Amino acid sequence: MNEKQSSQSTLTLVMILSMIIWGISWPSNKVLTSFGTPVVLGFFRYGFVLVSLILLLILLKTKMVISKKGIPFLLASGGLMAAYNYTFLGGLQNGSPGAGGILVTTLNPVMAYGLGMLVDWKRPTRNESIGLLFGVIAGLCLLKIWGSEDIFAKPGNLYFLLSALIWSVMSKFTSKSAKYGSPFAFTWWMYFVTLMCIIPFCDFTAIGELIQTTDLKFWGNVLFSSVITTTLATTTYFYATSKIGAEKASSFIFIVPFSAAVFSFAILGENLEIHTIIGGLLGIAAVYMINKK
């Protein structure tokens, strides 16, 4: 195995691990929504992210400089991340987390490929088309579409549709990050812009009350959401978009709903039904097909 193949294999393994972490983050973020609004929770999340990520950048001896040509991409990415934070947590508060998680994770790769076709005039290959089809069928199986209630019956689930669209567009911007400096430095500045977009809408009284709380459920979940999920897993995802493109990176998201179901079974004792297993395996097959040479 040459150096390039080894690097690609490592990136694949790290991406799979990141998607497993994303799966765990769904119930964790649902717990957080009981403590505050999406804006207030976003303040804590991206505050911790900026601190933890800059420590990582210092450890990696990464320069924080970004080319001036990259500033428009940086501002767009940061603004979209702020919007995603609102729609994502808003969906968890007002919609169905299970159905919403599947909607976002199924539609994300499909929207990313559709956007890529429009922007780059690039048609998906045969393997990519088969993989996308597997992914859509996986989502339908996971939703148990043949016997479930209308997933759009709850208005909050529309937030998840917006989340998928916003994430797809944002991934396209972050895929250009390597052209303007280190992808990790780009990501730090992106989170900085995100926090700056959130601060004007913050309720600082509510923030002060949460700072004084001793509830370990809040602090444990907010640290997991920020340091583990965002600083490590999400930053890895954005790094991958700069290396393999937004479309292929987004395909790994098909793994998320299955990992969420498995860990809900292992940790919370929730039922792991046959349609979940079939949908999860199809999602994994989708990732394999889309990234197959």
Domain annotation covers residue 4: no
Output the 3-class SS for the chain: CCHHHHHHHHHHHHHHHHHHHHHHHHHHHHHHCCCCCHHHHHHHHHHHHHHHHHHHHHHCCCCCCCCHHHHHHHHHHHHHHHHHHHHHHHHHHHCCHHHHHHHHHHHHHHHHHHHHHHHHCCCCCHHHHHHHHHHHHHHHHHHCCCCCCCCCCCCCHHHHHHHHHHHHHHHHHHCCHHHHCCHHHHHHHHHHHHHHHHHHHCCHHHHHHHHHCCCHHHHHHHHHHHHHHHHHHHHHHHHHHHHHCHHHHHHHHHHHHHHHHHHHHHHHCCCCCHHHHHHHHHHHHHHHHHHCC
What pLDDT does 53 receive? 92
Position 120 scores a pLDDT of 67
Q: Can you give the pLDDT at residue 193?
A: 95
Q: Is residue 233 assigned to a domain?
A: yes
Query: 16 in a domain, yes or no?
Result: no
* pLDDT for 198: 94
pLDDT at 145: 67
Is 14 inside any structural domain? Answer: no
- Please give the residue range of the domain that contains residue 58: 31-291
The answer to whether residue 278 sits within a structural domain is yes
Residue 226 lies in a domain: yes
Q: In this structure, is residue 213 part of a structural domain?
A: yes
pLDDT for 137: 83
- Whether residue 192 is contained in a domain is answered as yes
Structure confidence at residue 257 (pLDDT): 76
Mean pLDDT by 10 residues, the chain (293 residues): 68 86 80 87 94 90 86 92 87 65 72 73 77 80 64 65 85 82 89 94 92 90 92 88 78 78 67 75 80 69
Domain count, the chain: 1
